[in-house]
Amino acid sequence: MSTSGKIVAQSAQLIYEGFVRYNENFGRVTARARKRFETRDWQGVQEDLVGRVELYEKSVRRIVTTLQKNLGPRVNDRRLWNDIRFYYGERVRNIPDAGFTKTFFNSVSRRIFGTVGIDPEVEFVSPAPEEGSAIDALRLRHYPCWGSLQEIFVTLLREFEFQVPYLHVEHDAERIEREIREYARIFLQDFGDFVRFEFIDAVFFQSARAYLVGRILQQHHVSPIVIALENTGSGVRVDAVLLSDEEVSIVFSYTRSYYFADPNSVVGAVQFLHSILPRKPVDELYTVMGRLRQGKTERYRLFTNHMNSTDEQFVHAAGDRGLVMLVFTLPSYDLVFKVIRDHFGYPKTVKREDVIAKYRMISKHDRGGRLVDTQDFRNLELPVGRFSDALLDELLREATLTVHVQGDQLRFDQCYIERRVRPLNLYIREVNRNEAQAAALDYGQALRDLALNNVFPGDLLLKNFGVTRHRRVVFYDYDEVSLITDCEFRDLPEPPEDEDVMRPEAWYFVGEHDIFPEEFLKFLSMDADLRELFLEVHGELLTAKYWRDIKAMHLAGAAPLVVPYARPALPAAARGKREVA
C-alpha cells in the first residue's frame, strides 16, 4: 500500500474507531438506567441524561483534534478526504445501523471544513439510516395467543424482571388482560381475535418509569401496547397500560425526555415504533431514542425531500411577532425555524449569549412533556428564492449577525428548528367553548408540570405556549426560562402610600432573580369567563407560597415526578391537579 493509501486507511479507521468508542460509551450510560430504576435514583437519571447529550460532541472533538495532529497541513486536503470518504463507506456498507457511522463521519468532516450546506465530496449525502429494512433484525419477544391473555402477561412480566421483585405478577397480568379486552371491545373491530403480542427485547427507561414496548397483532389490525412499570420502593408494579395511538404517541413525544434503551438494532426499533405510530415522524423517533445527531440528519433529509416536492415559499409563522426570535415556516410542513434577532425589542433585557445558553440548558433538561425539543442547526442553507419578500426583507434587515446571502442560497449561521404547534393565544380564539376551557386549564397544568421539573418559563404570555395535535399545552419560548431553584418568589409588599401603586415602574426593590406571582394575572389574556375558571382551579399559581413550596421540594430532592399518561378529565375543577409519581 502506498503512503497516501496508508494515510487514507489510518484516517478512516481512526474515525470508525472513534464512533465505536462513542457508541460503547453511549451504551454504558444507557445501561445504567436499569440500576437507576431499581434503586430509585432519579437524580442519577438526570445526570446521565446530561452526560449522554454531551457525549457525541466530545467524541467528535476528540477525533477532529487527533486528525488535525496526524494529518497536519493535509487535514484540509479535499482530494484526500474524498478518498477517505470512499474508503470508509466501502467498509461500513450494510453493517447494522450503518447510517450512524456515516453521520459520525459527516460530523467530523463538517467540523474540519466548516461545511456550509452539503458538500458531497467530503461527506455522505443524506445518509439513510439503513440500506434495506432493519426491523427483521430487531430482537423481539413473541407471545402467540392461545386463549388466556393473563398467562401471556404473567410470562412477559417474569421475562422482563428486575433486581427488585414485582409486587403482584398475577394481579398485574389480570389487569393488563382486563384493560386490553375492554379497549378492544370499544375501539377494535375484530376485538376478540388476538393472534400474537410482540415486544421489543429491551426495556425503555425514562425518568421514574420503565416501559415495555410492543404491538398487538390481530387478523386485520395492528395496534400499540405499552406497559408502564413503577418501582414503588416496596416492589415493581404495572402503573399503566397504554393502548391508544394518542396515549402511546404522547409517551414518545417530542416534548418528552430521551429514552434510555438498548435494543440490538436502533434502526429496527425505530421502524418498529413507526409501525405502531405511523403519524410520528421518523426523525423524532431517533431523537426520542437518544440518537440526537441521527435525528437531526433524518429531519434534514425528510424536510429537504419535502421541500423539493413543492414550490411554496417560506413565510412568517402564525402568532405574534417575537421580540427575540424571528420565526418562519413552510406552510405544508410541520416545522418552524427560529433565528435570533440582532436587537431585542422592549422590554427584553437578555443578551444574545444568554438566549443561546437558555436553549442549551433546555436541551439537557427533563422536558416532562411540556417543553418542545429544539435542534440547533449550524451553517444551514436554504434557497433564497423560496422566501417570501416580506420574510426575506426582515431576515436580512434584523438578523444580519446570523443570515447571509451566498449566491442563490440563504445561509443561516445558527438556526433552531422545532415542531410547529398552534400558539395558545390563537387557539383559544379559534375553538369552541369546551375546547377553550380545556386549553386554559391545561395551560395552568403545564405551569405545574414545568414547576415540578424545576423549570420556570419566565414569560407567561399565552403567545409563548402552544397546543399540540393531542391538545396538550406546551412551552416553546426559552429566552427567559430559569430553574425554579434559582428564583426568589416574593409576595408583593404593601405600598407605603396609595399613590405608589399608580407609578408605572415598581416602587419597591426588584432583584435580578425576584419573581412576584401575584403579577401573573396580567399575563392571562383570556376573556373574563376563562380567567375565572383558571383562577378557580389554578389560583394558587398566583401565590408566592406555592412556588416557594415547590422550590423547597427541589432543594430537598423531594419534588414528585410528572408522568405522561395521567390525564385528568377537563374541565372538572376537582381534577385540576395532575397525578404525579
Residue numbers annotated as active site: 373
The closest alpha carbon to 217, from 323, 144, 292, belongs to 144
User: If 0-12 CB within 10 Å is exposed, 13-18 middle and 19+ buried, where does residue 279 land?
Assistant: exposed
Phi and psi, residue 336, nearest 5°: -125, 150
Quickly list DSSP for 360-403.
Answer: HHHHTS--TTTB--EEEEEEEEEEGGGB-HHHHHHHHHH-TTTE
User: If 0-12 CB within 10 Å is exposed, 13-18 middle and 19+ buried, where does residue 239 land?
Assistant: buried
The closest alpha carbon to 101, from 133, 123, 72, belongs to 123
Burial of 417-429, coded b for 16+ CB within 10 Å and e otherwise, reads bbbbbbbbbbbbe
| All cell numbers assigned to 388 | 417570501
| Cβ proximity of 339 and 403 under 8 Å | yes
Q: What is the pairing mode between strands 236-242 and 222-231? A: antiparallel
Q: If residue 35 lies in a helix (H) or strand (E), which one and from where to where?
A: helix 3-39
Q: How many CB atoms lie within 10 A of CB 187?
A: 12
The closest alpha carbon to 466, from 432, 418, 425, belongs to 425
**Torsion 551-524-367-247 (CA) sign:** positive
Alpha carbon 82 to its chain's center: 35
Residues 6+ apart with CB under 8 A from 43: 557
Hunting for cell 463521519 — which residue is that? 105
Cα distance between residue 26 and residue 44, in whole Å:
15
The total number of residues shown for the chain amounts to 581
| All cell numbers assigned to 450 | 414545568
Residues 6+ apart with CB under 8 A from 488: 511, 513, 514, 515
- CA gyration radius for the chain? 26
Residues 6+ apart with CB under 8 A from 122: 78, 81, 82, 85, 109, 113, 115
| All cell numbers assigned to 22 | 462513542
Burial of 99-133, coded b for 16+ CB within 10 Å and e otherwise, reads bbbbbbbbbbbbbbbebbeeeeebbbebbebbeee
210, β-bridge pairs: 205, 229
Residue type for position 251: V
Cα distance between residue 433 and residue 331, in whole Å:
27
